Structure 1
Amino acid sequence: MTDASPRTTPTVAGRLDALPFTRAHLKVLTGSGLGWALDAMDVGLVSFVLAALIAEWSLTGEQASWIASAGFVGMAIGASLGGLLADRYGRRSVFAVTLLVYGLATGASALVGGLAALIVLRVFVGLGLGAELPVASTYVSEFAPARMRGRLIVILEAFWAVGWTAAALIGYLVIPNLADGWRWAFALGALPAAYALVVRWGLPESARWLERQGRHDEAEAVVERFETAAPLGTSRRRRPQRSVEPVAQAAPAATPVRLSAGERLRTLWAPEFRVRTAALWIVWFCVNFAYYGAFIWIPSILFAQGYDLVKSFGFTLLITLAQLPGYAVAAWLIEVWGRRTTLSVFLVGSAIAAVLFGTATGEGAIIATGMALSFFNLGAWGALYAVTPENYPTSLRATGSGWAAGVGRIASIIAPLTVPVLLGLGGAPLLFTVFGAFFVIAAAAAWGLADRRGAALDDR
C-alpha cells in the first residue's frame, strides 16, 4: 500500500544545502575571490608605498600613519553602510558599486602631488574596500552547501593571500626599481578593477535574499541554474536525485516584513543576538588592531632597523607566502574542529608568534617568526570570516557582518597611529607584545559566538 499524501516541494534553502559543489559554485567563489584579492592587493600595496614615501617625501611617522589610517576610516564607514545596503538592495549590486569606487580612487592615487590629496583619496578607496569584504563573505555563504560552507568561506578568504602576495611582488619588483615606482604600483592596483566589475555583473543574485524579498520566481531561476550545473570532482556522487513523482507545491510564502535600517541595527542587540554581536565586535576589533598594526608597518619597521628597501621588501614577501598554508590548514580544521575552536587556536598561535617576532634578532629569526605570525593570523582571519555571517539570519546577515567589520575598522584606524608611539616607548618588543595581548583577548571572546558547523543557515 502506497502513501498517497502529497509531499512538499523543498525550500530554496534546503535545495541549495543539498547540492554538490558545481561549476556554478566555482564561478561564485572565483568571481568573489577575484575582488577579494584585488582588495588585499590594494591594502598590501600601502605598506610598501609608505616605506617608499617616507624616503621620497621625507614623511614623519605621524604623517605616514595618517596615510594608512585614512583608508581604514573609509573602510569603517564602507563596512557599516555596505552591510545595510546589501540587506536592502541585494548582494551583487553592492559588489559592483564598491569595486567601481575603489578602482577609480586607486587609479587617481597614482596621480597625486601631495600628502593631503593622497589622504583624501585613501578614504574613498577605503569606502569601496570596506563595503565589499563583509558583503562578499555573506554572498558566498548563502550559496554554499551547509556541509562545506565554512571551508568555502576560508577558501574565499585565501584569495586575500593571493592579493597580498601580488602586492609584495609589486613592492619588491616595481617600487624600488622604477622612478616613481609607488605611482606605478597604484596604477597596477587599479587596472584589474574593470575586469572584476564585469565578472561581478555576471554573477547571480543571492537566491536566499531574493526569496526573503518575495521575489520567488527570480529565486527559483537562480536555484535551477545551480541544480543543472555540472558537479565538480567527487561532488558528482553527492547530487540528490530529483523525484519524478508528482509533488504538491508549497504554498507561496507570505510577503516578508522588510525592516528599516534602524530596526535591523536594533535587532542586532535583541536578547537572541546580543552575546553574539558583542563577541563578534570584540574579536573583529582586536584582530584588526593587531593585524593591521603589524602588517602595514612591517616593511617600514625593517627599513628603520637598517635593512634597505629591497631587502625589507624581500623579507616581507617571504613572510607573506606563509599566508596560503595558514588558510589551507584553517580550511580543513574548520569542518573538523568547528568554528570557535579553530578560530581560538589560530588566535593563540598568532599571540605567541607576535611576541617571538617582536623579540627576534637576525635575518633567519625575523623571517621564521614573521612567517609563523603570517600563518596563524591569516588562518584566524579565514575562520573569522566563515563564522561571522553564520551568526545571523538572512534578514540581518549582511548588516551584522558589515557592522562587525566596521567596528573592526575602527581598530585599524587607531592601530597605525599607535605604532609610532609604542615604538618610541619600547621598540618592537613592546609593540608586538601589545599585539599579542589583543590576540589573546580575541581568542577568549571567540567562545561567545555560535558554532553552526554543518547546520543550515537561519533563513528568517
Structure 2
Amino acid sequence: MSTITERLGNLPLGKFHWRLLLIMCLGWAFDAMDTGIVAFVLPKLMAAWKLTSAQVGMIGSVGLVGMAIGAMMGGTIADYVGRKKVFAATLILYSLGTGACGLAWNYEALLFFRFLVGFGLGGQLPVAITLMSEYSPTNYRGRMIVLLESSWAFGWLAASIISYLIIPKYGWEVAFYIGAVPALYVFYLWQMVPESAMYLMKKGRIEEAHALVSKVEQELGVPQGRKPSPAEMETAATAPAFSVFQLFNPTYLKRTACLWILWFCIVFSYYGIFLWLPTLLVKAGHNMVQSFEFVLWMTVAQIPGYFAAAALVDKIGRKATMATFLIGCAFAAYMFGNAASTAQIYLWGCLMSFFNLGAWGILYTYTPELYPTEARSTGVGWAAGFGRIGGIVAPMVVAAMITGPDKIPLVFMMFTAVLVIAALDMIVLGDETKQKALN
C-alpha cells in the first residue's frame, strides 16, 4: 500500500508541482485578502458607526469563531469526502460572505457575515496545506509549504493596496465587494486541481490513485511505478476510519499538545497584533492614511520572512527554524511597543512582521507532517481550530487593555511573553520531521 506514497515522495520537483503550488497560492492569497480587508475597514467603521473598542474587538473575534469551527469541521470532513471538494466549497463561501459584508445594514448583520467568512476561511486552510503536503516530494516539502504560506503576504498586500486606494475615496463597502471576486476562481480550480492520491489510497480507491500518480509521472518524464497488488488494495479497502478522539491517544498525544500550544500562541499574537494594528497606530496619534502606509510596508516585510524560512526549513530543520523566528518576533514585538519615532516604528514593525509570518510558514509545514494520511486533515484542522481560540481571545484582550496610548507598550510586552512560550514549546515538545516521508 505504501507504493503510492513512495512514488509521490520520490518524484523530482517539476512542472506539475509548480502548477499545483501556483493554484493553491492563488486560493491562499484570496483567503488573506478577504481577512485583511476587515482590518483596514475597522478604523473607518469605528468612526462611521460610532463603535466602541469592545464592538470592534467583537468583529475580529466573531470571524475567528467561524474560523475555529470551520477548521475543525472542514479538516474532519476532508478526511471523509476529499480535499478538493472542501477546498472549492470553502472558497465560494468566504468570497461571497465577504461581498455580503459590504451590504451589511447594521452591526449585527456585519457580525453574521463575518462569521460566515471566517467559517469558509478556517475550513480552507487546513485542506489546502494537506493537499499540497501530500503531493510535494519529500526533500522539498518544507520549502513548498512555506512558499504556499508566503502567498498570504501577497493577499494581505492586495488588501492593503485595495484599502489604501479604495476606502478613502469610495467607502468601505466597495472594498468588501472586491473581496467577492475570488468566487469566480472556483471554476478554474475545479478543472485543474487533482484529488489527493494519498486520500484516494486510504479510501481504497487504489485504481484512481495509481492512475493519478501515473499521469504525474508521465508529465515529469519518469518511469511509471508499479501498480498496487491485490493484497495492497484489500488492505487499503479495509483500513479503519480515523476518529478525532485518536488525536489524544498515546501515539499522538505529545504531537497534538505541541501543535495546539504552538497554534494558540502564534494565532493569538498574529490576530492580536495585525487586526488591531491600523487602529492602534491611529490611537497612537497617526492619521488613517499614515497608519495604512505603516502597515503596507510591514506587509511587504512578510515576503522576505517567508523566503528566509523556506530557505532554512529543509536545511537546519523545523525545530531550529521555528524557535529562531519566534524568539526574533518576540524581541521585535517588545521593541515595537516601545518605539519612539517613525523610523523605529518602521524598523521594528517590519522585523516583527518578517519573523511572525516566517513562523506561520514553518507552522503550516510542520503540522501535517505529524499525522498519517487518514488523520492528516483532521489533525491539521483541529490544531488550527484550537489555535483560532487564541485569535478569538486576542482582539478582546487588546480591546480591554487599550484605554489610552500609554498602554501600547504593555500590550506588546504581553505578545512578547506569548511568543517566548511558543518557542519553548517547540524546543521541548517538538519532534524533528525534516525530510521524513509522509505515511
What TM-score bracket applies, with the shorter chain setting the length?
over 0.9
For each residue in 1:347-381, what CA deviation from the matched residue of structure 2 results, as whole angstroms up to 9, or x when unmatched? Answer: 00110010011110111110110000000000000
CA distance in 2, matches of 1:16, 1:278: 29
Query: For residue 122 of structure 2, what is the amino acid of its counterpart?
Result: G
CA distance in 1, matches of 2:231, 2:175: 52
Give the one of 203, 210, 215 matched to 1:220: 210
Q: Secondary structure at the match of 1:396?
A: helix
Q: Does 1:359 align with 2:338?
A: yes
Query: In the superposition, relative to structure 1, how do residues 56 and 259 fare at CA in structure 2: closer, same or farther (>3 Å)?
Result: farther
For each residue in 1:237-281, what CA deviation from the matched residue of structure 2 results, as whole angstroms up to 9, or x when unmatched? Answer: xx75569xxx79634422444555xx5211111111100100100
Report the counterpart of residue 206 of structure 1 in structure 2: 196
Give the one of 45, 69, 81 matched to 1:77: 69
Give the one of 192, 195, 201 matched to 2:185: 195
CA distance in 2, matches of 1:445, 1:14: 31
Contact 1:75 1:409 in 2 (8 A): yes
Report the counterpart of residue 436 of structure 1 in structure 2: 416
Query: In the superposition, relative to structure 1, how do residues 416 and 226 fare at CA in structure 2: closer, same or farther (>3 Å)?
Result: same
Report the counterpart of residue 6 of structure 1 in structure 2: none
**Cα offset, 1:198, TM superposition:** 2.8
Q: Secondary structure at the match of 1:424?
A: coil
CA distance in 2, matches of 1:160, 1:242: 35
Equivalent residues, number: 435
Q: Does 1:116 align with 2:78?
A: no
**Cα offset, 1:10, TM superposition:** 7.5
Report the counterpart of residue 35 of structure 1 in structure 2: 27
Report the counterpart of residue 79 of structure 2 in structure 1: 87
For each residue in 1:382-404, what CA deviation from the matched residue of structure 2 results, as whole angstroms up to 9, or x when unmatched? Answer: 00000000000001000000000
Q: Does 1:420 align with 2:414?
A: no
Query: For residue 24 of structure 2, what is the amino acid of its counterpart?
Result: S
Contact 1:212 1:395 in 2 (8 A): yes
Greater shift, 347-356 or 197-206, is seen at 197-206
**Cα offset, 1:107, TM superposition:** 1.1
CA distance in 2, matches of 1:264, 1:110: 39
Query: In the superposition, relative to structure 1, how do residues 371 and 135 fare at CA in structure 2: closer, same or farther (>3 Å)?
Result: same
**Cα offset, 1:28, TM superposition:** 1.5
Query: For residue 24 of structure 1, what is the amino acid of its counterpart?
Result: F
Report the counterpart of residue 243 of structure 2 in structure 1: 264
Report the counterpart of residue 46 of structure 1 in structure 2: 38
Give the one of 95, 98, 101 matched to 1:106: 98
CA distance in 1, matches of 2:227, 2:53: 68
Give the one of 158, 166, 172 matched to 1:166: 158
Q: Which structure 1 segments of 5+ residues have no match?
A: 1-8, 231-238
Q: Does 1:296 align with 2:280?
A: no
Report the counterpart of residue 142 of structure 2 in structure 1: 150
For each residue in 1:224-248, what CA deviation from the matched residue of structure 2 results, as whole angstroms up to 9, or x when unmatched? Answer: 1211124xxxxxxxx75569xxx79
Contact 2:3 2:228 in 1 (8 A): no
| Larger-Rg structure | 1
Query: For residue 435 of structure 2, what is the amino acid of its counterpart?
Result: G
* Correspondences of 1:233-382 after superposition (within 5 Å): 241=223, 250-253=229-232, 254-257=235-238, 259=240, 264-382=243-361
Contact 2:68 2:122 in 1 (8 A): yes
Query: For residue 175 of structure 2, what is the amino acid of its counterpart?
Result: A
TM-score normalised by length of structure 2: 0.96
Contact 2:88 2:189 in 1 (8 A): no
Report the counterpart of residue 384 of structure 1 in structure 2: 363
* Runs of 4+ that moved beyond 3 A: 239-243, 247-252, 255-260
**Cα offset, 1:170, TM superposition:** 1.1
Q: 1 or 2, which has the higher helix percentage? A: 2
Report the counterpart of residue 60 of structure 1 in structure 2: 52
